[in-house]
Amino acid sequence: MQVLKFGGSSVGTIDAISKVIAIVKARVQKTPTIVVVSAMSGITDQLILLVQTASQGNEGYKMIIQSLAEKHEDAVRALLPASQQSATLNIAQQLIQEIESHCEGLYLKNELSLQIQDQLMSYGEILSSKIIAAAFEAEGVDQVWLDSRAMIKTNSSYSSAVVDRALTNQTIQAYFTNPTNQHALYMAPGFIASNAAGHTTTLGRGGSDYTAAIYAAALTVSILEIWTDVSGMMTADPRIVPHAKAIPKISYHEAMELSHFGAKIIYPPTIQPVMQAHIPIWIKNTFEPEHPGTLIEIASPKDDHFIRGISSIQDICLLSLEGAGMVGIPGFTKRLFDALAKKQISIILITQSSSEHSISVGVSMQDTHLAKIAVDAEFEEEINSQLLEPLIIEKELAIIALVGEQMRNHPGVSGKMFTVLGANGINIRAIAQGSSEKNITAVIEAHDVHKAMNLLHEAFFESTHKQVNVFIAGVGNVGSKLIEQIKLQAANLQSTLRLQINIVGIANSKKHLINLKGIDLSNSNNLTDSNNTHSSHAHDWSDQLAEASSGTIQDYVAAILDHNLPNSIFVDVTANAAVADTYAQLLSKGISVVACNKIACSSPYAHYANLKSLAQNHHAAFLFETNVGAGLPIVSTLNDLIRSGDTIKKIEAVLSGTLNFVFNHYEGGKDGKTFARVVKQAQDEGYTEPDPRLDLGGTDVMRKILILAREAGHPLEMEDIMNESFLPASCFNGSVADFYNELEKQEPHFKQLYDAAATAGCKLKFIAKFESEANEKMNGMAIVKVGLQHIQPSSDFFHLYGKDNLVLFYTNRYPELPLVIKGAGAGADVTASGVFADIIRAARA
Ligand code: ADP
Ligand code: ASP
Ligand code: MG
């Protein structure tokens, strides 16, 4: 004898049922077979809704019956040849009529009992099993329909009846040993049973697995096969963790723990009867029958997987009993458990502090109200005399569990679990570890489940793979280049660093696009490429963004926080203050921030310091390499020097590509190239801020040297920087157009600056300088200044062309000859690559 169980999704469509028939047909010749089936998928839920609707006096129940009738009659028509349909259609219609007459009663009486609900739910399995039985007949496979209600005997706990195993075994064995009952194929409905009075009962949601196990154990078959819609028991629920993998072999105990903690693939009570009889369970995929699936048997395989799987249960609440009255007095725990048991509330998890000052239990959310009444009533006296607090309830929680029999031999599992969760800002409300050390469970906020499961899966099963979720704000020149670079480099990062960089969000100032699976970049438009038109790339990201929902940057950030994805990185490639204002919110949720935007780091010191400490406290990265010198490794080099114990004594730098360009091109007005024209040229070529005064006035350079000074450990403000501006005060008045007019008027001033330098054989360069040496006038504070200087040919700064930057670090280790960093300090491509490098750094942190 063999027992094969097919679940709801395996009998949910005509196509699926055909696959079931093919699988069984190939097997039935060799050994007598019991096939247990569930209701077609969704039908049990529909029946429950039907019962509720009818019993509330709502006529809408008739529509539900109609849809039930259609679904089953359609199945009959599709599965059976026309000539053989009528008998089965009659059966289906008769069953539907029975449902109808029950519902009429419910509708008129406006009352509902679990008994009648069980009665009605049973039709799901009866209908499916009768129809599939007819389909076998039509295929020439003889079968006999086996009424599970007559075989499986239970108590009267309707909706989750307890099976009388001894009586049930006797009944099943008596039936099968009777010579008149010998057949090749038995078709049995799962889920349903009956009590001593002969009333229909059900075995609890998902109970068809249990039905099959009961038949298998009673007949001591050699194996129980559970056919479902996934290729075995997996390392996690594949709907939550897309990278979950099938587990080839697992022990009964591990499978039991996983299912107890939410792995729906197998109904928890299923394992007990077959485990007692040493019958292995084989989980197989109806839709991929050649896949080996999962074998559940006695021993846990001796491999190096000390964590076999992870699972989760949503909709949990934590009940805590606290108070001095609990200490040292026996019996409290028992009274708590008894009070819950009397109300049939099952406890999923227990934790007790060793001081015995409190005990917490996790129960299903739907039991909260009942539990509160029951427990407060039980401890009324103690609560009144203030020995105990009234029961404390925390809602909207979830349980996550790590399961593996070998974990007891591997120290550090819980440490790793808590580190991974903590590093991603996931708060743990309670923890419990079974004394047999087969599981570690933690209670977390329901909102964090998806993130926690993916992180734990990554940590315990994918040591070779890390998925990073990137949210980009800003799609100007730099943002577009960045997306292009990530797209081109993605495969390489996956193979060399095992990093999967998913761009899940893209936003501009008006709209944002979020796709949790990763935005399709396949036809990504390079916005700076003028040959590329939108119409030729109908579905690239910029078109998707144009069609996306409108919203401010705050809306974007709210959505990011709400999605709560693991390993999230927010990338600010704007120059916008409102975007910079969101960093604190993000960092305090453990989301890393990579900023090209300089505003946050050059804002008041307290704000900058707060962002840095938020990042540290929430284990998030806060990186801004491109704040200074675009893609040049300036900030990271400075950080490396300091972290390795060096001290920055002095920094001298040309940090403005714009100013460098202007002074490289201005030759005292030669050939009519006035200073104003050179500035205009710089602006036209895209090297200046929209208002060039930010560059020419020195603000941009001040921000950059301030950031370097701060990173070197000096708590300075913008006001502490001396700016020896070369721009006459009159240039700061009015609009940008006014500014250009004024520049023209001031040409003699600029010519004089130029001539003075040229006469001395020097070039003009705008230099930023930081000196940490104690200075009496400054009360020991570091000196930071920016200004135009005459540069001698012997200086490092003399031969600095185009928009290059140059930074000289004088440190303890580089006292005389500085550490030099030189190269392009502006440009979309190099800036994007600096941002990209920060993203990779944040991802690997
Ligand atoms: P059936 O209808 O065959 O009884 P179920 O829906 O009850 O199927 O169970 C199969 C589903 O269980 C899978 O589709 C999957 O989404 C879910 N599931 C949850 N945890 C796991 C896990 N660890 N391994 C495999 N599937 C799981
Ligand atoms: N049809 C029942 C349910 O949906 C039993 C099962 O599918 O196993 O819960
Ligand atoms: Mg199931």
Mean pLDDT of 424-452: 88
State residue 467's pLDDT score.
87
pLDDT tens digits along 269-319: 999 999 999 999 999 999 999 999 999 999 888 877 789 999 999 999 999
Phi/psi at 440 (5° precision): -125, 130
Q: How many whole angstroms from 745 Cα to the centroid of ligand 1?
A: 78
pTM above 0.85, yes or no: no
Q: How many whole angstroms from 207 Cα to the centroid of ligand 3?
A: 7
Q: How many whole angstroms from 543 Cα to the centroid of ligand 2?
A: 44
Q: How many whole angstroms from 505 Cα to the centroid of ligand 1?
A: 30
Q: For residue 527, what pLDDT band results from cuts at 50, 70 and 90?
A: very low
- Asked about 245 being catalytic, the answer comes back as no
Catalytic residue among 598, 704, 763, 769: 704
Number of residues that make up the chain: 845
**Which three-class secondary structure string do you get for 80-94?**
CCHHHHHHHHHHHHH
Q: Per-residue pLDDT for 50 more than 90?
A: yes
Phi/psi at 809 (5° precision): -100, 120
Q: Specify the amino acid at residue 55.
A: S
Is residue 710 within 8 Å of residue 601, measured between CB atoms? yes
Instruction: List % helix, strand, coil for the chain (3-state, nearest 5).
Output: 45, 20, 35
| Mean of per-residue pLDDT scores for the chain | 92
State residue 354's pLDDT score.
62
User: In percent, how much of the chain has pLDDT > 90?
Assistant: 81
Is residue 387 within 8 Å of residue 323, measured between CB atoms? yes
Is residue 194 within 8 Å of residue 153, measured between CB atoms? yes
Mean pLDDT of 20-36: 94
Q: Specify the amino acid at residue 605.
A: Y
Residue of 35, 38, 159, 192 to test ligand 2 pocket, by largest number of atoms within 8 Å of CB: 38
Tokens matching residue 595: 């900023």
Residue of 228, 233, 241, 261 to test ligand 1 pocket, by largest number of atoms within 8 Å of CB: 228
Which residues does a 6 A CB cutoff place in the pocket of ligand 1? Answer: 7-10, 38, 206, 228-230, 233-234, 236-239, 258, 263-265, 309, 311
Q: Alpha carbon 309 to chain centroid distance?
A: 17
State the closest ligand 2 atom to the C-alpha of 124, by its place in the atom list counted from 1: 1
Q: For residue 647, what pLDDT band results from cuts at 50, 70 and 90?
A: very high
Is residue 208 within 8 Å of residue 38, measured between CB atoms? yes
Tokens matching residue 400: 């996550």
State the ligand closest to the CA atom of 44.
2
State residue 115's pLDDT score.
96
Is pLDDT larger for residue 637 or for residue 354? 637
C-alpha torsion angle, residues 478, 480, 486, 487 (rounded to 10): -160
Closest-CA residue to 43 (of 14, 84, 18, 9): 9
Q: How many whole angstroms from 31 Cα to the centroid of ligand 2?
A: 27
User: In 514-527, which positions are buried (b, 16+ CB within 10 angstroms) versus exposed (e)?
Assistant: beeeebebeebbbb
Q: Alpha carbon 551 to chain centroid distance?
A: 23
Q: Per-residue pLDDT for 530 more than 70?
A: no
Burial of 706 (0-12, 13-18, 19+ CB in 10 A): buried
Tokens matching residue 88: 């089965």
Q: Per-residue pLDDT for 777 more than 60?
A: no
Residue of 48, 192, 208 to test ligand 2 pocket, by largest number of atoms within 8 Å of CB: 208
State residue 582's pLDDT score.
98
Lowest mean pLDDT among 170-179, 510-519, 777-786: 777-786
pLDDT tens digits along 64-80: 999 999 999 999 999 99
Mean pLDDT of 142-153: 97
pLDDT tens digits along 197-254: 999 999 999 999 999 999 999 999 999 999 999 999 999 999 999 989 999 999 999 9
State residue 537's pLDDT score.
44
Establish whether residue 189 lines the binding site of ligand 2, counting it when its CB lies within 6 angstroms of any ligand atom: no
Q: Per-residue pLDDT for 532 more than 70?
A: no
Mean pLDDT of 173-200: 97
